[in-house]
Amino acid sequence: MRKILLKRALLGTEKSGIGPEIEESVPSGIRGLIDQIEKRTSDDSWKILLAAGTESLADQVAFHPKTESTPLSLSERSENSVIPPPVAEILLELLQVQSEALGTPFTCGSLFLLDEAVKYGGVVPDEKIPDFLRLFTASRQYKNRKERLLPFLGKTANWLGSLNSDWQWCAEGSEKAAAEMNNKDLLDLWEEGNFAERKSALISLRKTDPDQARDLLQETWKNEKADHREAFLRIFESDLKEEDTAFLTSALSDRGSGVRRAAGDLLTRLTRSEYSQRMCARTDEILFSTSDKKYRIELIEKLTPEMKKDGLEEKPPYGTGEKIWWTFQILSRTPLAYLEKKSEVNAAEFLGRYRKDDLFSVLAAGCTNSLILSGTPLSWFEPLWNIWLRVKLDILRYSVFDLRDDLLEYGIKNNIEYFRNILDHGDSFSCSTEILHLIWSALAEHEPDPRRPEFSRALVNYLRKAQWQSSLLIEFIPLLPEHDREILEEYCRPGSVICKEPPNKMRPVQRIMNLCERFEKYIKSRKETE
């Protein structure tokens, strides 16, 4: 419709009129509005302007029906329990303050408040959902936060996401619907559905009949888009099997770099495969020991055609040397269990042997990536984390090798007690503020009760160590119990000898405190009615 309106406007309505094709191109859902325009004016130029305005308004409310079916009514889409509009306004303002001050609305503190709102209130009122969706979608991090955001947004956001491509990330109904389908319906969905529906069908088929799912993907593989091929491959991560080896090996020669990388990542987890054995043989050309127990690391001198066939990328990231890049990739794809078996020592002793070598940073980064990709063995986590925690590696200059965040995420997922002990027993003071912030941000998102006394006490100690930086206060204040926030308010008031920040930096902090207090009153009232 938009192209036709533009064409008519450029040609001029005096020459072309409004034309019947405009009426034919109008989605059925807004055709009634266009009919009302026809009745109100006979001026063709006004008709075009009003029709364009109608379509623009439809865009803003995400009205893009894909079929002729009647959209669901709000009453059918709404949940019984809805957060009161004033409380939704508080949360929206808090997220906007964080977005303006930190560049993102998503912090461990704001996510905690959203969880609390769902727990004691329900979901966002329908009229407020577009505001939240626009704010969330503007942040690059929203895809990684879907599991936390969808319960807060509710079914209406799911419906809106099915109508607006910008909000498609919150249209999760297809995967749930596919899980309830029989095999025949799943096959039909795979043949006829859009990308999201086909992905959901493949996920369900992979759970019930992994061989059939793999065969179906192989049949359509050459006709799929590169980003779709990569996304389909990533589905194999949850239940990888030895029988997938041949298919994954063929994907190593794919024309898409992301697809090749995904195939290599998956093959790295199949430690008994020929692929892993080839990587082990190449690692033998990197790590050397002498009879007098001296250990050294050597770089790969040349990327052979066989290495390229195994998906190793020839061109390094900007600012990284070729040989370092090739060596890092081989170490990343070598099973850590093989290094233990070959050296006959545990992870800590193995890494200690090469500690004095000039290329130790390449080895540490490669072993770290291998652990992240394969997920095993867990015994390597603490020795590697201690390296990243306490040793300043030259390779950190290259962002492609800075794996601290990924290693931390792995540790939080698989060894969360290790980090809880750091915070609960005061070991955090041996960490740099930067590293400690990484720990806090990751741990707080997985902590079931971040306002428990031990956790909040450790958090206050951290904020004190960081000299009450305004950015940290904005991020973490919602995690603190009310009595701790009262202490912070005294510490952070303008002119305080403790607060070193200028007044303009503290204003968002005061706003966050005020919003948290108002939100806390709502939570208390809901708890009292339970």
In order along its 530 residues, the chain shows pLDDT tens digits of 555 655 555 555 554 445 555 555 555 555 566 666 655 666 667 677 777 777 776 666 654 444 444 444 443 444 458 899 999 999 999 999 999 999 999 998 999 999 999 988 888 998 999 999 999 999 878 877 888 888 898 888 878 877 777 887 887 555 666 677 788 888 988 988 878 788 888 999 999 899 999 999 999 999 999 989 999 999 998 889 999 999 999 999 998 989 999 999 999 999 889 999 999 999 999 999 877 778 999 999 999 999 999 999 999 988 888 999 999 999 999 999 999 999 999 999 999 999 888 899 899 999 999 999 998 899 999 999 888 876 655 555 555 677 888 888 898 888 888 887 776 665 555 566 777 787 888 888 887 788 888 888 888 888 887 777 888 889 998 998 877 777 776 666 666 655 667 778 888 888 998 999 899 888 888 877 76
User: Tokens standing for 338?
Assistant: 């093989």
Which candidate, 37, 42, 48, places its Cα nearest to that of 3?
48
Q: Note the pLDDT of residue 74.
A: 45
Helices (H), 121-168: 129-137, 146-161
Are 56 and 50 spatial neighbours (Cβ–Cβ below 8 Å)?
no
Measured between alpha carbons, how far is 496 from 209 in angstroms, rounded to an integer? 65
The pLDDT of residue 200 = 85
Residues in contact with 338: Cβ distance below 8 Å, sequence separation at least 6, in sequence order: 271, 276, 280, 283
Tokens representing 430? 């041996």
Q: Give me the amino acid identity at 18.
A: I
Question: CA 234, CA 265: separation in Å to the nearest integer?
Answer: 9
Provide the pLDDT for residue 39.
58
What is the pLDDT at residue 63? 47
Q: What is the pLDDT of residue 220?
A: 94
- Rounded to the nearest integer, the mean pLDDT of the chain is 81
| Cα 466 from Cα 135, distance rounded (Å) | 29
Rounded CA-CA distance 424/428 in Å is 9
d(CA 19, CA 518): 55
Q: pLDDT at position 350, please?
A: 95
pLDDT digits (tens, 9 = 90+) for 203-258: 999 998 999 999 999 999 999 999 899 999 999 988 899 999 999 999 999 989 89
Q: Any long-range contacts for 112-118 (C-beta under 8 Å, 24+ apart)?
A: 112/444, 112/450, 112/478, 112/479, 113/478, 113/516, 113/519, 114/148, 114/149, 114/152, 115/148, 115/152, 116/519, 116/523, 117/83, 117/87, 117/91, 117/152, 117/519, 118/151, 118/152
State the Cα–Cα distance between residues 171 and 193, nearest whole angstrom: 14
Give the pair of three-digit tokens for residue 495: 């002119």
- Tally the C-alpha atoms within 13 A of residue 141's C-alpha that lie toward its C-beta: 12
pLDDT at 446 (0 to 100) = 80
Question: Exposed/middle/buried for 405, CB within 10 Å: 0-12, 13-18, 19+?
Answer: exposed
Nearest to 94 by CA among 107, 78, 83, 82: 107
Check residue 310 and give its pLDDT. 92
DSSP element (H, E) containing 297: strand 295-297
Cβ 523 vs Cβ 120: under 8 Å: yes
